[in-house]
Structures are given as structure tokens and as C-alpha cells.
């Protein structure tokens, strides 16, 4: 193949079509919906949000949906709804965004981290089992980068140990697992709907469940205006109706719920186009050394929803040990400026989970309410600590335009085929790759 662009050759990618990556897709219908809320002065009401909840629940197939001001609060409410209280433990994968688990601190609970599987980046069910203690109240599973977790195994483990399963659907709204919608398989599910996510409303979150008790307890934490006697069946909650029980206010802004209602109408169709584009791209890369595609076999009834923040798996052993850092540098030179290694950094390594004393307990918050030092459970997470060197960002196409997708696939192929030229001058990988930030959508300037 032709000379690598890194060494002065012609770039493999010549197109620069901003529509290819633009997300969310906003039309005059979204704009009109927002303007209507403003004109009616209904920014703080919840009538539109309740319509959104009803439509969302019908779409995904659950009894109850509850809007939130963001994904973080929806997941905190999911934990509270699932019964997570002082002294309890939740098990969460170490590779995720902090908002999958850190809210447990404010409930007086703590986090035990589990490993993730190399080929799916999802929580390792064996490690869940290894980390269950008498204090484990819930498992948070993240369908990471839209890949469905092994829900059959996870539900079996949860049932055996009488533990609740909280799905964090922030990366995978609309995705399927063996013919079922993700988010409807566990006991409760929370998700982000902020602008960077697949399902984008602006700032927003949603909780879904089929369990009335979980729903009501999730509601009282931050929706005191809706916590009325006539809405409540749980005896323990009835005496406190109308009170700001959890002390929080988590209502969704109606500019967001108005956008959400419009986005929902087109969401499945837009995700289907993304999948068509991403599967075409990955088909072109099948068999290319060094690259393993990160997707599921759709004939099983599973899928990758909107391929949130798409990343492929890197196999350096197939490229003479070439570092992913060097590999990505060469791909960027070919014209895909977003090609960076890694994903979220391992949470358990962060000072917030090791030393930080958030509430002045005189000891790290992570063990403030624990009878033993659960940080010892971090000992087998070396895999999570080095996982950043085994993944790299691929284009997250929003449109199926074969000729343009082929240019991007050719860039990766060209680099893989010419890997030997890159071995010399390979600086290797830094000790840690990845960070604590959100994934971003569009092409931008090289940040390295
Ligand atoms: C974005 C994200 C969240 C948090 O959502 P916000 O809307 O930003 O509060 C939670 N979990 C995961 C996995 C996320 O990616």
C-alpha cells in the first residue's frame, strides 16, 4: 500500500463531511417544541415531562419511567429505590464513568469494584461473584460503549444471592439483548440523556422499572412535588407524603423533556442508520491484523443501539508489539483526528476511591461505613488498570455513506499493513491511558 501519511505520504481520508458525525440531529421540530415551552412559561412544570415518561415507558416496554435532571441523579435514585442504604455495598465495574457509582457515598454506602472483560469492556460476571459479601445490596452493570452485558449470567447471580441489579443505560439506550430491550432486564435502570449521549435531550436523565416499590422510593428522593398521598402505595412512605424526603430536587427541565419527546420519535430509525454505517465499517476491517471489531452478532437478537463513542479492540501482538499510542498517531496523520487510545480510566485508582474523605469521617469515604477495608478487593484489577492500551477510538458514523466510510476503513488498514515502519521510533504507551472525562462526539483537533 501507499506511503504512510505520517512519513509524508498522501492521506487516506480526503473527505470532511461534518454531517457524518453531527449529533444529536436537531430539526425545526425540536426547535418548535422548545420554543413552545418558553412561550408557555412552562420550564419548571412537569406536565411535558410526564408525557415524555409515558411515551418512553411504552417505547422501551416498562411500567414506570421517571424523568431526572441528569443521569447522575437518576442512578442515585435507582440505588435508593433498590434499597441501598448506610453500610451497604454496591458492585460496579472499574471501567465506567464515575456517575455509575459515586452517588453511593451520599447514601452512606460504598463501592466494590469489579473487573471488566477484555473483548466487551463489560463487567466480568465471575468477578461479581468473587466480590459479593453479606453487605452487597446491588450490582450496577454498564452496557459499556453500547455493548450489552452478559445479563443472563448477571441475573442468575443476583437471584442466587438476593441482590438487586441496576442497569446503567447511559451508553446504550435502545439497545437489545437477546430480543429484549436493555434497561428492562435488571430490577431498575438509570441513564444519562445529556447532549453527549446517544439519546440526547440536553441535560436530563431517566429511571425505568417494573417494580412499584422501587419506583416510589426513587421518586421520593428528589420529586417531592409528585410525592403525594394519592400517588403512593408503600406504607413506609405514606406518612411523609409531600415532604422533601431525600432533601434533593431532581426535576427535569422541560426544555429537555420537550426535546426528548421529539428525539424519541426518530431515535430507533437514526440508530438503525448508525448501525448500518458502523457494521459496514467493521465489515471492512474484519481480518485486518491488530484490529478486533467491538460489536455483537445481531442474529442473536442483540445489538449495539447507537454505537455510543465507538471504540475497537487493539491486538498489539499481531503488529509486532506496536504500541497503541504509535498506532493512533499514524491513523491521525491519515486524517482521522479523533483516533486516541483508551477509554475511561480505572475508577478504583482514583484518589476519590482511595484516600478522599468527603464528609470528614476521619477516614476515606470509601470505607467510612465499612466494618472492613473493602479496598482490598481492588487487588485483582490490574487488567482494568492497563485496559486503556487495548482500545482505540474509531469514527462514530451517524450516516451510511459507503464511499466516505471506506476512506476511514482504508486509513486503519493502511496503518496496520505498514506497521513495521512504525516500530522504529515507537515511544511505547504511557503508564495510564484514558481519563475521567466524557466522551465527545465530533471530530476535533488532535488533543495529544
Ligand atoms: C454520562 C454518564 C453518566 C452520568 O450522566 P449525567 O447525565 O452526566 O449525570 C452515568 N453513567 C455513565 C456510564 C455515563 O456515561
Type and span of the H or E element at 142: strand 136-142
CA 169 to ligand 1 centroid distance, Å = 9
Q: Which of these, 161, 21, 38, lies nearest to 89 by C-alpha position?
A: 161
Q: How far is the CA of 164 from the centre of ligand 1 (A)?
A: 20
408 in a structural domain: no
φ/ψ of 217, rounded to 5, equals: -70, -35
Number of domains in the chain: 1
From 68, 70, 72, the mutation candidate for ligand 1 (largest count of ligand atoms within 8 A of CB) is 72
Q: How far is the CA of 160 from the centre of ligand 1 (A)?
A: 29
Quote the ligand 1 centre to 92 CA distance (angstroms). 14
| Protein residues whose CB sits closer than 6 Å to any atom of ligand 1 | 70-72, 75, 96-97, 99-100, 142, 168, 170-171, 192, 194, 205
What pLDDT is recorded for position 441? 59
Query: Is 5 within a domain?
Result: no
pLDDT above 70 coverage of the chain, percent: 98
Taking the centre of ligand 1 as the mean of its atom positions, its distance from the CA of residue 233, in whole angstroms, is 30
Has residue 54 been placed in a domain?
yes
For ligand 1, atom 5, the nearest C-alpha belongs to 71
Task: Name the residue range of residue 223's domain.
Answer: 28-261
Query: Looking at the domain assignment, is residue 399 inside a domain?
Result: no
Pocket test for ligand 1, best of 97, 116, 122, 257 (most atoms within 8 A of CB): 97
Which letter does DSSP use for residue 178 in this model? T
Q: Which atom of ligand 1 is nearest to the CA of 193?
A: 7
The confidence band for 438, taking pLDDT boundaries of 50, 70 and 90, is low
pLDDT digits (tens, 9 = 90+) for 29-70: 999 999 999 999 999 999 999 999 999 999 999 999 999 999
Residue 172 lies in a domain: yes
User: pLDDT grade, residue 1 (50/70/90)?
Assistant: low
Mean pLDDT computed over every residue of the chain? 95
DSSP per position, 179-248: TEETTSSSSEEEEE-STTSSS--SS-EEEEES-HHHHHHHHHHH-GGG--GGG---TTTGGGTTS-TTS-
pLDDT confidence of residue 448? 35
Whole-number Å distance between alpha carbons of 415 and 394: 13
Please report whether residue 150 resides in a domain: yes
| Closest atom of ligand 1 relative to the 99 alpha carbon | 10
Tell me what the mean pLDDT of segment 194-217 comes to: 97
Cα torsion 14, 409, 426, 3: sign: negative
Mean pLDDT of the region 296-311:
97
Whether 324 maps to a domain, the answer reads no
pLDDT over 60 (residue 446): no
Could you read off the pLDDT of 357-366 as tens digits, one per residue?
Answer: 999 999 999 9
Residues contacting 128, CB < 8 A, separation 6+: 91, 114, 139, 154, 157
Q: How far is the CA of 415 from the centre of ligand 1 (A)?
A: 33
CA 251–ligand 1 middle distance (angstroms): 17
CA dist 254 → 41, 42, 223 (Å): 10, 7, 14
Residue 434 has what pLDDT?
80
Distance 254 CA to ligand 1 centre (A): 19
**Ligand 1 nearest atom to the CA of residue 144, by list position:** 13
Nearest CA to ligand 1 atom 6: 71
pLDDT value of position 442: 54
Query: Can you give the CATH number for the domain in which 49 is found?
Result: 3.40.640.10
- Quick check: 324 and 392 in contact, CB under 8 A? yes
Instruction: Provide the 3-class DSSP secondary structure of residue 104.
Output: helix
Q: Quick check: 285 and 412 in contact, CB under 8 A?
A: yes
CA distance 225 to 101: 26
Give yes or no for a contact between 364 and 357, defined as CB atoms under 8 angstroms apart: yes
Of ligand 1's listed atoms, the one at least distance from the Cα of 74 is: 9
Cα(437) to centroid(ligand 1), Å = 10
Q: Report the atom number in ligand 1 closest to the C-alpha of 204.
A: 7
| Within a domain: 391 | no
Q: Are 331 and 291 in contact (CB under 8 A)?
A: no
Instruction: Tell me the average pLDDT across 360-386.
Output: 95
For ligand 1, atom 1, the nearest C-alpha belongs to 192
314 pLDDT exceeds 90? yes
DSSP for residue 62? -
Q: How confident is the model at residue 2 (pLDDT cuts 50, 70, 90)?
A: confident
Distance 263 CA to ligand 1 centre (A): 18
**Mutate which of 194, 203, 248, 260 for ligand 1 pocket (most atoms within 8 A of beta carbon):** 194
- pTM score above 0.85: yes
Ligand 1: centre distance to CA 198 (Å): 11
**Tell me: the pLDDT tens digits for 388-409?**
999 999 999 999 999 999 999 9
Amino acid at each position: 500500500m501507499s506511503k504512510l501519511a505520517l512519513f509524508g505520504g498522501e492521506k487516506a481520508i480526503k473527505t470532511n463531511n461534518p454531517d457524518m458525525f453531527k449529533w444529536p440531529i436537531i430539526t425545526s421540530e425540536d426547535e418548535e417544541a422548545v420554543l413552545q415551552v418558553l412561550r408557555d412559561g412552562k420550564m419548571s412544570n412537569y406536565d411535558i415531562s410526564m408525557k415524555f415518561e409515558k411515551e418512553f415507558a411504552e417505547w422501551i416496554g416498562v411500567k414506570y419511567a421517571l424523568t431526572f435532571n441528569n443521569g447522575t441523579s437518576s442512578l442515585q435514585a435507582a440505588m435508593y429505590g433498590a434499597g441501598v442504604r448506610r453500610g451497604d455495598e454496591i458492585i460496579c465495574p472499574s471501567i465506567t464513568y464515575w456517575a455509575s457509582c459515586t452517588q453511593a457515598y451520599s447514601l452512606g454506602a460504598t463501592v466494590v469494584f469489579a473487573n471488566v472483560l477484555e473483548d466487551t469492556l463489560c463487567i466480568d460476571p465471575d468477578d461479581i461473584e468473587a466480590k459479593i459479601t453479606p453487605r452487597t445490596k446491588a450490582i450496577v452493570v454498564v452496557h459499556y460503549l453500547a455493548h450489552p452485558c452478559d445479563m443472563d449470567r448477571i441475573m442468575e447471580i443476583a437471584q442466587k444471592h438476593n441482590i438487586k441489579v441496576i442497569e446503567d443505560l447511559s451508553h446504550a439506550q435502545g439497545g437489545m439483548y437477546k430480543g429484549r430491550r436493555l434497561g428492562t432486564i435488571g430490577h431498575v435502570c438509570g441513564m444519562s440523556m445529556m447532549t453527549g449521549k446517544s439519546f440526547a435531550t440536553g441535560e436530563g436523565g431517566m429511571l425505568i422499572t417494573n417494580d412499584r416499590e422501587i419506583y416510589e422510593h426513587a421518586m421520593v428522593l428528589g420529586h417531592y412535588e409528585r410525592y403525594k398521598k394519592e400517588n403512593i402505595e408503600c406504607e413506609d412512605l405514606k406518612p411523609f407524603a409531600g415532604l422533601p424526603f431525600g432533601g434533593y430536587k431532581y426535576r427535569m427541565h422541560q426544555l429537555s423533556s420537550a426535546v426528548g419527546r421529539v428525539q424519541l420519535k426518530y431515535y430507533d430509525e437514526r440508530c438503525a442508520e448508525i448501525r448500518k454505517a458502523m457494521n459496514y465499517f467493521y465489515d471492512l476491517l474484519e481480518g485486518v491484523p491488530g484490529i478486533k471489531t467491538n460489536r455483537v452478532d445481531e442474529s442473536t437478537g442483540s445489538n449495539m443501539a447507537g454505537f455510543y463513542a465507538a471504540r475497537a479492540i487493539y491486538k498489539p501482538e499481531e503488529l509486532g508489539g506496536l504500541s497503541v499510542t504509535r498506532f493512533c498517531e499514524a491513523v491521525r496523520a491519515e486524517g482521522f483526528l479523533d483516533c486516541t487510545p483508551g477509554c475511561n480510566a480505572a475508577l478504583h485508582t482514583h484518589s476519590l476511591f482511595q484516600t478522599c474523605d468527603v464528609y470528614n469521617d476521619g477516614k476515606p469515604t470509601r470505607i467510612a461505613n465499612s466494618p472492613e477495608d473493602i479496598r482490598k478487593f481492588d487487588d485483582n484489577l490490574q487488567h482494568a488498570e492497563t485496559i486503556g492500551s487495548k482500545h482505540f477510538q474509531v469514527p462514530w458514523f451517524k450516516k451510511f455513506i459507503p464511499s466516505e466510510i471506506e476512506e476511514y476503513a482504508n486509513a486503519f488498514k493502511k496503518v496496520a499493513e505498514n506497521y513495521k515502519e512504525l516500530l522504529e521510533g515507537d515511544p511505547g504507551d504511557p503508564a495510564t491511558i484514558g481519563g475521567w472525562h466524557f466522551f465527545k462526539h465530533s471530530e476535533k483537533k488532535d488533543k495529544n
